[in-house]
Amino acid sequence: MMTTRRNFLYLLSASTVVTWLGSANPPVWAAPAIATTATTGEFKLPPLTYDYNALEPHIDAKTMKFHHDNHHATYVKNLNAAIAKYPQLKPKTVEELLTNLGTLPKDIQTTVRNNGGGHFNHTMFWQIMGPKAGGAPTGAIATAIKSQFGTFDTFKTQFNDAGTKLFGSGWVWLINDKSKLKIVTTSNQDSPIFQGLYPIMGNDVWEHAYYLTYQNRRPEYLSAWWNVINWTEVNRRFERSLTA
Ligand code: MN3
């Protein structure tokens, strides 16, 4: 018993000092490119690329429809209304706005923080989920998770615990911080991108994301969410976090 536990602890501590790509070819951290999206001065609600009911039974159709068509749409509308007052901001991408919040006109800073954050976070959220998804991670992110956390189950447990402990509304994230994978949480619609940290994946733990099916059982929602993760898209975001 003790030996098993000691070995486990050794593996865990070893994993904290190992970089995921190995010492022969250490990853080079670079800030994400922030001007990748051409804008027309108006942000648009990105369409869902799958049906509202495609994530059932894990996320119900009514939740998806309301979450996308109402919540996300409102963030986009409010963001556009704020930007409309300042034509010089119209060419900016949402990433540019969010990484420079402190330089924006004072009267729209909070609106852009909440609604620009909401737009950026939800755009990612729809993309990293999908039908016929879930299961164990694949590709480079699988290797990275194993190196950083020991096992996928350990990572999932730590991610779900962080999401469970977050008080009130917010997000739980996997980020790439100077070539280390880290789990962090943010309140409201705040996002790691505010600090220039490109989020690889994140789960929305606002009640609107799960209440119709799970009521107050947030841990159940957090566990079920892994069944709809699109690892192909997560890998794309992981690659971008390394090289963009
Ligand atoms: Mn939401």
- Gap from CA of 25 to ligand 1 centroid (Å): 38
CA of 42 to the centre of ligand 1 (A): 21
39 pLDDT band, cuts 50/70/90, is low
CA distances from 36 to 98, 116, 191, 244 (A): 14, 16, 18, 10
Ligand 1 mean position, distance from CA 182 (Å): 22
Q: What is the pLDDT of residue 12?
A: 33
Q: What count of Cα atoms within 13 Å lies in the side-chain half-sphere of residue 115?
A: 20
- For residue 49, what pLDDT band results from cuts at 50, 70 and 90? very high
Q: Which amino acid is at 201?
A: M
Residue 118 CA to ligand 1 centre (angstroms)? 7
- Residue 141 confidence (pLDDT): 98
The rounded Å distance from CA 139 to ligand 1 centre is 28
d(CA 121, CA 75): 10
Whether the pLDDT of residue 2 is over 70: the answer is no
pLDDT tens digit string along 156-173? 999 999 999 999 999 999
Which among 162, 170, 208, 167 has a CA at the least distance from the CA of 70? Answer: 208
Percent of the chain with pLDDT over 70: 83
Residue 40 confidence class, pLDDT cut points 50, 70, 90: low
Q: Which domains does the chain have, with CATH numbers?
A: 17-24+59-241 (3.55.40.20)
Mean pLDDT of the chain: 87
Q: Tens of pLDDT along 13-26?
A: 333 333 333 333 33
Say what the pLDDT of residue 26 is: 33
Task: Taking residues 86-96, report their average pLDDT.
Answer: 95
Residues with CB under 5 A from ligand 1 (ion): 204, 206
Compute, in angstroms, the gap from residue 45 CA to the centroid of ligand 1: 13
Residue 73 CA to residue 85 CA, distance in Å, equals 19
User: The pTM is what?
Assistant: 0.84
159 CA from centroid of ligand 1 (Å): 18
Report how far apart the first and last C-alpha atoms of the chain are (Å, whole number).
46
pLDDT of 41 = 72
